[in-house]
Structure formats: structure tokens, C-alpha cells
Structure 1
Amino acid sequence: MLLYIARRFFLMIVILFLVSIMVFGLINIIPGDPASLMLGQEATPQALASLRQNLGLNDPLYLQYIHWVGGVLQGNLGYSLSDHTPVLNILLSKIPVTLELTIFAFLLAVLIAVPAGIISAVHKGSVWDYVTTVFALSGVSIPAFWLGILLIYLLSLTLGWLPPSGYVAFAQNPVRNIILMIMPSIALGIRLSAQLTRMLRSSLLEVMQSDYIRTGYAKGLLEKAVVFKHALRNAMLPVLTVAGLELSSFLGGAVITETIFAVPGLGQLIVNAILTRDFPVVQGAILFMAFAVVIVNFLVDIAYSLLDPRISLGGASK
């Protein structure tokens, strides 16, 4: 088990190293001069040359990368070109907002997917099964941005039930915070709920055909006991994998969702930073999102091995 975790951890470090190279390289090939953005278009050539020298922009790219990575390892992600605020401070102010949206959307997806998947599998061929199948197919097919616009039109503009956009911190007004988070959470979480429903249904149907399930029924066990105590645990293994991967993609989906609903999280920060060519902010935000994705996948691997010890034993024996 420890060897399995060590191998996964080493792989995570390698992936983060490769991601840092990609982020640094992609940002540096984007047209635009950071010195001109900081000093303005009317700056003198002498001032621009001096600032480029101070920022290290005249150094070779590999030296710029080494200096940047060294700063990242020390918690220094640079400074925003727009207001010279440390990028780390900007990220720390935006991360809780995106994290809150991610948690709400994930909880919503699980609360919908688990009962829907179980009912659909246990009552295969029933009306509930067909309803669940239609929901799953629709949820996977509808883009998040279109669903967000549709929710605003129906629930806000037409019915007037919810405010169209905005954000209030939970500590400031918990009720208002939850109300404003309802539509973004639905727009972000409905796709995950649909995918988890389909995966749980197919996985549970497969497990229900196993010999030990038929043995449980033969012993006179109630259907509830067979499903929840025996079948569901094994059926959750592939579902856990899908949930972990999709949870990682929430950070990418949050870019669109936060922009539509004016939620001031990482997604909206990246969009605004790209539009203003604030390269240090873009670098820091993308690097953090990549780090979060890798960490989530690492934790999913560990959880997977705990649910199925054969995985860690297999990884350790190689």
C-alpha cells in the first residue's frame, strides 16, 4: 500500500513539473509586452527597457522559467500587472468562492445521481427507469453555458423566483449566499449527476448479476439488504473514478458558469486576466487549477485502492 502511494505521489510530481513547463511556455508565446501593459502605451523606450531588465524579461526563457519555478516553490507567484497585487493574495481571495460552488454542485449531483441510479437499476424497464434514462441523456447532452442561460430565463426573468446573478459571501449573509448559488450549482452539477446516474445504473446492473448476489437472495435476505450492503459497495468503484475525474473538470466548467452568473471565483478571474493580458495572474490561476486536478486524482486513486485492495497489491507487485 505504501509503495503504491509512493508511486502515485512521484507520478503526481512529474505531472506537475510538465504542467508548469506547458503553462509557462503557452503564456510566453501569447502576443503582448508585459512592460507596455504596466507602463502604458505612452511610456518611453528607456522606461520600457529598464522595466524589462528589472522583470527579467531580457533573460533566456529557461532562466525565466527557473526563476519563476523558484518563486512558486517559495509561495511567490509574481505580481498582477494591473494593480501590482501579489498573485497569491488574489488567488486566496477567489479560491473559497470557486470551492464553495464546486462543493454545492457536487453535493447536488450526488443527491440526484445515487437514488436515481439505484431506482433505475433495481426497477429496470419500469417507468422510473425510462425517466432516469431520459434525464441522464439530456443532462450529458446539454452544455453548461446553455443550461445556465436557460435557468436565468426561466427561474429569474420569467418566474422571478431567483436573482439572475451575483454573489454574497456566506459569512456575510448565509441565506442570500445559498439563494444566489442555486442556479450556478444546477448549471455546473447537472452534467455530473447525469453521468453518475448512468454509470451507477450500469455498474449496479452488472453487479446484481453476480453469484454472491443471487446467493443473498437465495438465503432470504431482503432486497434492501442485498442492494445496499452487498451490491452498492462494489458498484461504486467505477462511479468513484468518474466522480473524481468530473470533479476535476468542475474547475474548467466553473470558468463558463462563473462568467454567466457573475460569481467572482477563479473562473471569472481567469477570463478577466486573459482579456487584460495579466499574464502572472493567468499563470498562477492555471497552475493552481492543474495542481487541484492532480491532487483530486491522487486522492481518488488512494480511495479506490482502499475500496478495492487488489489495486494497490497489483501496483505494488509490478
Structure 2
Amino acid sequence: MLQYVFHRLWQSAVTLVLVSLVVFIGVRALPGDPATAMAGEQADPAALAAMRAQLGLDRSLPVQYFDFLRHAITGDFGRSIRTGIPVRSLIGTTLPVTLQLALYAMILAVLAGVIGGVIAAVYRGRWPEWLANGVSLVGMSVPTFWLGIIGVLYLSVGLGLFPASGYVSPLDDPLRGIYFLTLPALILGVTHAAVVQRQTRSSMVETLTADFVRTARAKGLGPGTVIVRYALRNSLIVVTTVIGLQLGLLIGSAFVTERIFSLPGIGKLTLDSVFTRDYPVIQAVVLVITTAYIVINLLVDVLYTVIDPRVRVSGRAK
């Protein structure tokens, strides 16, 4: 186990370095100049040169990159070009909003997806399966931004069931916080619920035909016990993998939902930074999201041994 964890940590470190290099080059390939955005289009060349020197953009790209990497290792991402606020403070303020939204959406997606997948597998070939598969197909096909607009028009403006925008921290007021996050979480979780449902159904169909399930039924165990204790439990390996991957994707795909519902999350921060060519913020956000994705996948791999003791993770294939 320890050998495997060290091996994954080493791979993660290499991945983060490569991601930092790609994002460093990528943001500087964007059209526009941060110095011009800060000084204004009518600024004279001397003012632009002074602004570029102040922002450190007058140095060579390799020097800029290694300086960025050296500070990023210690958690110092510099200051925002747009606001002058330390990037670490901006991320510390906005990332909890995105994490709350992503976790809430993931909880809803897992509940809906697992229940739908179990129903589709148990009632295979009958109308409950067709209904569950139809709903999942719609969930995977409809764009999130369209669902968000429809949700605001009908559920917020039309019926008044949910607020159309705004945010209240669940840490300050749990009930109001959950109320404000419910509609965005529902919209964000639809696609991911469909993915969880399809994988749950596929794994359950295979497990329900296994010998140990037939043995459990032959012993006279009830349908509920067989489905939950034997079939579903042994299907959780595949489902856990999907949930881990989807949680990482949720954090990265919350941008559109945050924009629609005016949530002060990391998605809004990133979009504002892209528009103003705020290099330090863009680089830091990508690194943070990549790190979260890597950590989530590592935790999912380790969780295998908890769900199924037969699984023994090692650093090399056997």
C-alpha cells in the first residue's frame, strides 16, 4: 500500500509540473496584454514599459516560469494583476463556494444515479428500465447552460420555488445556504447522475447473474437483502471509480452553473481573470483544480480496499 501511494505521489508531482508548464504557456498565448489592460489602450509606450516591468512581464519566459514554479511550491501564487489582492486569498474565498456546490451536486447525483441504476437493473426489460434509461439519456444529452436557463425561468421566476441568484454560506445559515444552492446543485448534478446511473446499472446487471447472488437467493434470502447486501455492495467498486472521476469533473465544470446563478465561486473568478488576462490567478486556479482532481483519484484508489478487502493495491502489477 505505501509503495503504491509513494508511486502515485511521484506521478502526481510530475503531472503537476507538466500542467504548470502547459498552463503557463497557454495563458501567454491568449490574445491581449495585461499591461495594456491595466494601463489602458491610450497609455504611452513609457507607461506600458513601466507597467510591464512592475508585473514582471519584461523578463524572459523561462525566468518567469521558474520564478512562478518556485513560489507556487510554497503556496505563494503572487498577486492578482487586476485587483492587487494575493491570489491565495482570492482562491481561499471562492474555492469553498465551488466545493460546497460540487459536493451538494455530487450527493444528489449519487442518490439519483444509484437508485435509478438499481431500478433499471432489477427491472431489466420492463418499463421501469426504459423510463430510467430514457431519463439518463436526456440528462446526458441536454447542455447544462440550457438546463440552468430553463430552471431559472420556470422554477425560480415562474413558480418561485428557488432563488434565481445569490449565495448564502451554509456555514453561516445552514438552511438558507442549502436553499440557495439546491437549484444550482440540481442543474449541475443532472449529467453526472446520468453517468452514475448507467454505470450502476451495467455493474448491477453483471453482478445479479453471478453465482454468489444465485446462492443467496437459493438460501431463501429476501429480494431486498440480495439486492442491497450482495449485488449493490459488490457493484460499488465500479460505481466508486465513477463517483471519484465525476467529483473531479464537477469541480472543474461548475463554471457555467456559477455564472448562471451568480455564485461567487472559483468559476466566476476564473472567467473574470481570463477576460482581464490575469495570469497569476489563471495559473493558480488550474493548478488547484488539477491538484484536487489528483487527490480525489488517489483517495478513490485507496478506498477500494475498504469497500472490497479482496482488492489489494500494490505499486506494481501482479
TM-score when normalising by structure 2: 0.93
- Structure 2 match to 1:102: 102
Distance 1:311 1:29 in 2: 45
Aligned alpha-carbon RMSD (Å)? 1.9
- Structure 1 match to 2:154: 154
Q: Does the aligned pair in 2 maintain the 1:16–1:294 contact within 8 Å?
A: no
- Structure 1 match to 2:19: 19
Distance 1:74 1:275 in 2: 27
Shift in Å, 1:58: 2.4
- Structure 2 match to 1:56: 56
Distance 1:11 1:305, change over 3 A: farther
Distance 1:46 1:247, change over 3 A: same
Distance 1:273 1:227 in 2: 49
Paired residue type of 1:144: T
Shift in Å, 1:143: 1.1
- Structure 2 match to 1:77: 77
Distance 1:48 1:9, change over 3 A: same
Q: Does the aligned pair in 1 maintain the 2:204–2:235 contact within 8 Å?
A: yes
Distance 1:80 1:8, change over 3 A: same
Distance 2:42 2:265 in 1: 33
1:160-199 → structure 2 map (5 Å cutoff)? 160-199=160-199
The runs of 5 or more residues in structure 1 that have no matched partner are none
Mean Cα deviation higher: 24-33 or 201-210: 24-33
Paired residue type of 2:116: A
Paired residue type of 2:163: P
User: Do residues 237 (structure 1) and 237 (structure 2) align?
Assistant: yes
Q: Does the aligned pair in 1 maintain the 2:103–2:247 contact within 8 Å?
A: no
**Identity among equivalent pairs (%):** 40
1:1-318 → structure 2 map (5 Å cutoff)? 1-308=1-308, 312-313=312-313, 315-317=315-317
Distance 2:251 2:43 in 1: 38
Task: Give the secondary-structure state (helix, strand or coil) at the position aligned to 2:167.
Answer: coil
Q: Does the aligned pair in 2 maintain the 1:204–1:235 contact within 8 Å?
A: yes
Shift in Å, 1:163: 1.8
Paired residue type of 2:217: Y
Q: Does the aligned pair in 2 maintain the 1:12–1:298 contact within 8 Å?
A: no
Mean Cα deviation higher: 83-92 or 149-158: 149-158
Shift in Å, 1:47: 3.6
Mean Cα deviation higher: 203-212 or 213-222: 213-222
Mean Cα deviation higher: 181-190 or 30-39: 30-39
Paired residue type of 2:205: L
Shift in Å, 1:267: 0.8
Shift in Å, 1:39: 3.0
Distance 1:267 1:6, change over 3 A: same
1:226-279 CA distance string (max 9 Å, x none):
222222122111111111111111123201000011111011111111122222
1:202-237 CA distance string (max 9 Å, x none):
111101111111111112222222222222122111
Paired residue type of 1:118: V
Shift in Å, 1:54: 4.1
Paired residue type of 1:71: H
Task: Give the secondary-structure state (helix, strand or coil) at the position aligned to 2:316.
Answer: helix
The runs of 5 or more residues in structure 2 that have no matched partner are none
Mean Cα deviation higher: 171-180 or 239-248: 171-180
Shift in Å, 1:306: 4.1
Task: Give the secondary-structure state (helix, strand or coil) at the position aligned to 1:316.
Answer: coil
Q: Does the aligned pair in 2 maintain the 1:118–1:204 contact within 8 Å?
A: yes
Distance 1:226 1:172 in 2: 43
Shift in Å, 1:173: 3.5
Shift in Å, 1:93: 0.3
